[in-house]
Amino acid sequence: MESETLHELGIFLEAAAPEFTDNQLCEIEQTLIALPEDDGNKDHRKYLKRRRDRLLACIPAYLLKTDKAKKIRRALEKAKKVPKNEPLAKFSSWSEPYTLEKRLKEQGVDLERPENQEIHKFFSPLENFVTEWQNKIPIADAIKSILQIAKESYVSLMQNKGADKEVLNSGWSKLASCTETMSRAVNDPESEEFQFCREVLLKCARHELPEPDPKYDSNYNFPSWSPAPRNEAAQGLPWLAARNSDAEILSAIESLIHDKVPSVRFLVTTELFRLSIRDQDVFWRLLENVAEHEENRVVQNALCHSLSRVVVREESMTTEILDKLLKRILFLDEESDLLKSIVTLVMWLALARENQWAIKTASTFLSEPLRLGKSLRHATFEALRYITPEKLNSNEDRETAERAISWLAKAISAAEKGIKELRAIPYEQWNEETRSKLRNIYGVIDEVIMRLYFSADVREGSHHRKGKPTLDEQRKDFYFKIKPLLEQVLLFALDRDNGLMFAPTAQHFMELLNGVLKYDPKGVIHIAAGVAKSSEPANYNLDSLAIGQVVKLVEAILADYRSEVRDGESLEDLLNLLDIFAKTGSPDALRLVWRLDEVFR
């Protein structure tokens, strides 16, 4: 604290000294110069002297008034020790790339050794090629320009004149990455480039890296990998097999499918679909093996990726493999990318292709909402993707959307059933598992309202979905198509014993209703009154955002649709809606109550 005060005082002197009078400057200098009398403590006097000099140095030399102060300043300048007014403590940070070279040096590798240099000199050009064509197909000229360098690197690695093991392994990884990148574009099996990639990648498929790590491998729950030879071979060999699947390439791919390291299995399984045209029997046999024996969820998800690439032309075989995998994991109902991938395929097959196996599987999600809550929620999300205003334009998409709406009606009923079963459990017996089940089951209701709101594209100021803005006629058609789902959700929410609607769901509901008011004023005000009533126990009516939506809705009714709500059920709905918000004391809601006479003018 003392050092901070000293620093701040120095800043003040630097800034204010020119504004002081001569007398004020003299007083300040005399105060600073007046060191305590000698108390025998030399360290203490040195301490005070340093601070005196620092503060005197903050006063510009030309403003000093006393002779003693001027003398001290001249002495400091002569000794070149004029102190700066800097904080006594500073904190700074810096960073630099952690390069392969730095890592090798930390491992004790001498990169200046001729044996190491012979291999290290290829690192940069190989890496530059890989970086330039990362996630892209290299052009022919680029492959020709790197081929000679890659071949020279391969010769050096094979001859191995005594380089350190770490350098050799890094060299193989660099070359493997290069040939994997090249393999994406070498189409002619008879070409020099193809034969070179084949030879190197087959060699890499038998390399010791990456080494198994039981602790890490047992926790492999996210797709990640290092640029190691077998990892690169796992990605490159399927590209070559798509052009010329000789026995040796297929054998290497199969060995990688059974590799001890999950990253290798993940990468080769992800790329397996490339075998599906030239070697169908091998392709389906390998996929069946993964479906029946693979335990890692990330690798199983890679299987779904390969299936998604062939399902359009091989629907029957795809469902057979999916069925084998689903039987192993479905009833675990664990939150994972694998579950999402499977459900995505199932719902597409059921809704877009009307595949009987998929329809039966989708019905399974509906039959046991408590046990399969996560599956049901993901399936609901997927079904909602087929219901947008634009998809109602074409006959084919419209039929798919209608099937999705029909399935969602069943999903809402399944959610109602699950929530009813949960609410039958005495509250004192509830635990985290019970609450988790409620979140998943209620998530079906929330997904329906939230996704339909976003699909309607009614947010003010901008259009949030990709593509062209939704046309008014499209949105009107969309609203009347989904209205039965909205009414079904509302009917459940209003159930006195088991219904519920949480505030976030109600907010999306109200925003959607505001966006479609002009198409159905009476219907919208009726639904809005129900939303307000069913969400009142969750205190939605106390929320400022909720009040804003209700005010917007009622003001639009008073301005444009008074005749529609002048009597009967619509007037009662309007009164009930305002009453729910007015009893909270909201000034905006009360103001609308006072304006209700406008309805009868």
Report DSSP letters for 12-24, one per residue. Answer: HHHHHGGGS-HHH
Average pLDDT over residues 368-390: 93
Q: What is the pLDDT of residue 547?
A: 86
Asked whether the CA dihedral 143, 144, 145, 151 is positive or negative, the reply is: positive
What CA dihedral angle connects 232, 233, 239 and 245, to 10 degrees?
180
Q: What is the pLDDT of residue 96?
A: 58
Q: Is the pLDDT of residue 458 over 90?
A: no
How far apart, in whole angstroms, are the C-alpha atoms of residue 421 and residue 442? Answer: 12
Which tens digits make up the pLDDT trace of 237-265?
999 999 988 999 999 999 999 999 999 99
Position 15, amino acid: A
Q: What is the pLDDT of residue 1?
A: 41
> Coil, strand or helix: which one is 109?
coil
Nearest partner of 299 among 334, 343, 331, 337, judged by Cα: 337
The percent of residues above 70 in pLDDT, for the chain, comes to 93
Helices (H), 133-261: 140-159, 165-183, 192-204, 214-217, 229-241, 247-257
Buried-state track 432-458, b at ≥16 Cβ within 10 A, e below 16:
eeeeebbebbbbbbbbbbbbbbbbbbb
The percent of residues above 90 in pLDDT, for the chain, comes to 55
How far apart, in whole angstroms, are the C-alpha atoms of residue 92 and residue 286? Answer: 55
Q: Is the pLDDT of residue 296 over 90?
A: yes
Q: Is the pLDDT of residue 97 over 90?
A: no
Asked whether the CA dihedral 272, 277, 279, 283 is positive or negative, the reply is: positive
Nearest partner of 536 among 491, 505, 501, judged by Cα: 501
CA distances from 451 to 381, 446, 458 (A): 8, 8, 12
User: Is pLDDT larger for residue 258 or for residue 162?
Assistant: 258
Can you tell me which residue has the tokens 């709406």?
405
How far apart, in whole angstroms, are the C-alpha atoms of residue 435 and residue 404? Answer: 28
The answer to pTM > 0.85 is no
Which tens digits make up the pLDDT trace of 504-546?
999 999 999 999 999 999 999 999 999 999 998 988 888 888 8
